[in-house]
Amino acid sequence: MMTRWILLSACVAVLGIVGCVGSDPSFATVEGNVTVDGQLAEGLEVTFEPESGRPAIGFTDAQGHYQLQYTASQEGASLGKYRVRIDIPSGSEAKVRIPTRYNAKTELTAEVTPGKNELNFELTTKR
């Protein structure tokens, strides 16, 4: 009888660990840095737009670092190819100018692959 309880407890523990460690395999973490003319850019909105489906969004901090969030409870972005838009969010007091080739008429693309993705963007205001 004791052996059954030990075996049952071990199975429950293993299932609990596997459930906690494993996350949705169709998502991956995405983070990186954004610079504008070589300077770290704070207060920018970084949006990864898939061909279809929901975008993932992040905001740059004082060090120009962003981390994407898919939903309030899901970090990262789904796997696949994206069009990337980087812009100043409405109401922001950011003091940098972002050319339309990085937002409304973006030329930026990225691919999210399994695991951790570090995707940096070096923007320039001059062509």
Residue-wise pLDDT for 67-83, tens only, equals 999 999 999 999 999 99
pLDDT grade for 95, boundaries at 50, 70 and 90: confident
Q: Per residue, what are the HEC states of 15-73?
A: HHHHHHHCCCCCEEEEEEEEEECCEECCCCEEEEEECCCCCEEEECCCCCEEECECCCC
Is residue 27 within 8 A of residue 78, CB to CB? The reply is yes
Q: Could you tell me the two tokens for 104?
A: 């409304």
Annotated domain spans of the chain: 25-123
Decide if pLDDT at 63 tops 80: yes
Is residue 55 within 8 A of residue 49, CB to CB? The reply is yes
Q: Could you tell me the two tokens for 75?
A: 């970090």
pTM of the shown model: 0.80
Q: What is the mean pLDDT of the chain?
A: 85
Residue-wise pLDDT for 17-61, tens only, equals 333 334 688 999 999 999 999 999 999 999 999 998 999 999 999
The superfamily in CATH containing domain 25-123 is Immunoglobulins (2.60.40.10)
Radius of gyration of the chain (CA): 20
Distance CA 74, CA 25 (A): 12
